[in-house]
Amino acid sequence: MSVKTSFRFPYMFERNFLSKQGNPSTKTKFNFVERNEEITMNERISLNPTKFGDIRLPVTIFDAPARAIVVEARITQRRDANNKAIDNSIAKIQFEVVNFELAQTIIKSGGKATDLATIQLEFITDEAIMKNHAPNDLIGKVLDLSDVTVAPKWVSRANSGSWGGFKLICSALKFVPTQPTSAKTSE
């Protein structure tokens, strides 16, 4: 027997779940509705052996910009079993990005986009695809952030660290065409 329950949350969120009573192996379907968009999370998050850093959430439930301009980019190498960097390898490309619309406003008023608070974005996909992107060539490019996911961010603190804040993760770079003057990070 299927049971459909609907809860109303503030900010136009609605969560529906479908499940069969008496069958714990049935997957639950969550629908997040915001601004008339529906995002389906097909995988459930386990309460027990889940690594906190592996949790991925849809970007639409966060106050995130739709477009961002890259102000910094660097490559992180893969590591071996002894935690030593493997030469000529790429685990991910890390970006520091800023809200594109806010950066445009700051640049028009004579400021620099690099003075704005940045958002961490990680590009993680097949290594051959990542090798096609040189980090220095990506600085100043505008990226579409509509298909990114959100994950917890590990923050190093002296000799230790902890989870603090969120970062964006993407598996494909979607560049947004802009006017030549709007891609500059500073004037």
Q: CA separation (Å) from 121 to 3, 34, 79, 107, 179?
A: 39, 23, 20, 22, 23
Element (H or E) spanning 57, and its range?
A: strand 57-58
Q: What is the per-residue pLDDT across 4-17, written as a single tens digit (0 to 9) for each?
A: 333 333 333 333 33
Average pLDDT over residues 120-125: 95
Residue type at 138 in one-letter notation: L
Which residues are within 8 A (CB) of 66 and not within 5 positions of it... i.e. 6 or more apart? 100, 144, 145, 146
Q: Is the pLDDT confidence value at 40 over 60? A: no
Residue 123's DSSP bridge partners are 93, 170
Give the residue extent of every domain in the chain.
Answer: 67-183
Give which of 91, 50, 86, 61 is closest to 74, Cα–Cα. Answer: 91
Q: What is the per-residue pLDDT across 148-160, written as a single tens digit (0 to 9) for each?
A: 999 999 888 888 8
Average pLDDT over residues 70-78: 94
Average pLDDT over residues 94-105: 94
Give which of 67, 60, 70 is closest to 33, Cα–Cα. Answer: 60
DSSP 86: P
Q: What is the per-residue pLDDT across 100-112, written as a single tens digit (0 to 9) for each?
A: 999 999 989 998 8
Q: Is the pLDDT confidence value at 146 over 80? A: yes
